[in-house]
Amino acid sequence: MSAVHLETRPAAFEDPSEALPEPPKAWLPVALVTGLTVALILLTMVSALRGQLHITPTEVLGSILGRLGLDVGMAPSSTYAEAALWTVRFPRVALALVVGASLSVGGVLMQGVFGNPLAEPGVIGVSSGAAVGACAVIVFGFAALGPWTLVVAAFIGGLIATLLAYRTARRGGRTEVVTLVLTGVAINAVCGAIVALLVFLGDTASREEIIFWQLGSLNGARWSEVAIVAPIAIIGTVLALRLARQLDLLSLGERPAGHLGVDVERLRRTAIVLVAVLTSAAVAFGGIISFVGLVVPHLIRMVLGPGHRWLLLVSAVGGAVLLLAADLLARTLVAYAELPIGMLTALVGGPFFFWLIRRTSRGAGGWA
């Protein structure tokens, strides 16, 4: 009996030699942001060059420098080229960037607050909720708030859809994949029916405009639209970044997050309003462009891990790049024709979603 002896209890288990391994890849986020920024600049250049009117790279550069007050004698020879750049191509590039960033940041926030990597504004039905608001404005011709009417109506529709999804799908701080997807199915069905009703009620012109929402397109982008979406995207991203630490803690569950000092109630209120604002702004001027908020954050999470600070920041840039690339494809893939960008993103994002569902339902408990 006396051979068995536990040493003094606490010290017995301590082994100070066992240090934590070095965390790898501290440079990775920086490299990724740099790479994405380079891609963004290149895509912007290519987008400015491609189109029915032929414009050379020097003319593009000269035109930009000219607008900045530096006349270097490289400006486009024709006023048509100048006009094509500044009233058609650049506003469209700018809109693609801010819509892409808004959708992507909205996706990250939604995944964070739902505690599920499959939550996405399009899948959940936030986009179609926003489309209902926007379509109502088109059909009934509301204009009480000027150019903001569309955004505000989309916001109200989007917010209602978000709240509904949140109330229905979330239990105890988590969301089961199946519940989440089914909730999205239900909300999309209801919103689809309302949009169909609006199409039925509308005249020919508004019907055509409604088709635009459902397919998604950045065609005919104007600076006035960019002027509305850009501040929302930038302010939304900055506000989202302020929630990053709390969103990290929320992935432990609602109660554990609360035990670490997070005001969970306030966090989710803020996050839900931000999701609705970002999505609505994007939907109001780009129509339903789904899966951007799913694909981009997921790929970035795979590289950088789930920490929300870098995830939000890099997703904003990544979403901008992805949508710019998609828009470039949409308008150049078929000569003299314009493909709907929402169709393109769904064509790529849909199968990706399939793959994600299969993968997460195989994994432990269904969490990526």
Partner 1 sequence: MSAVSATGVDVTLGGASILSSVDLSVEPGELVALVGPNGAGKSTLLGALTGDIPVAAGTVELFDRPLAQWVGLEAARVRAVQTQRATVAFAFTGEQVVRMGRAPWHGTAEAIRDDDVVAAAMRLTETPGFALRRVTTLSGGESSRIAFSRALAQETAVLLLDEPTAALDLRHQEMELSQMRHRADQGVAVVVVLHDLSLAGAYADRLVLLDGGRVVADAPPRDVLRPELLERVYRQKVSVIPDPVTGDPVVLPVRGDAQRRVVA
Residues that bind partner 1 (CB under 8 A): 1, 4-6, 9-10, 12-16, 18-21, 23-24, 115-117, 174, 245, 248-253, 255-256, 258-263, 301, 305-307, 363-365, 367-368
DSSP 306: S
Q: Closest CB to partner 1 among 66 and 366?
A: 366
Q: Closest CB to partner 1 among 57 and 363?
A: 363
Distances (CA, A) of 194 to 50, 134, 143, 148: 38, 12, 20, 22
Alpha helices in the chain (DSSP H): 28-49, 57-67, 79-83, 90-114, 121-124, 126-140, 149-169, 177-201, 204-215, 223-242, 244-250, 254-259, 264-286, 292-304, 308-332, 341-362
Q: Closest CB to partner 1 among 28 and 197?
A: 28
Q: How far is the CB of 257 from partner 1 (least distance, A)?
A: 9
Q: How far is the CB of 67 from partner 1 (least distance, A)?
A: 43
Q: How far is the CB of 266 from partner 1 (least distance, A)?
A: 10
Q: What interhelical angle do 308-332 and 28-49 show, nearest 10?
A: 20
Q: How far is the CB of 240 from partner 1 (least distance, A)?
A: 16
Q: How far is the CB of 13 from partner 1 (least distance, A)?
A: 5
Q: Closest CB to partner 1 among 50 and 259?
A: 259
- The β-bridge partners of 175 are 170
Dihedral of the CA atoms 304, 310, 313, 316 (nearest 10)?
30
Q: Closest CB to partner 1 among 118 and 282?
A: 118
The C-alpha atoms of residue 104 and residue 244 are separated, in whole angstroms, by: 15
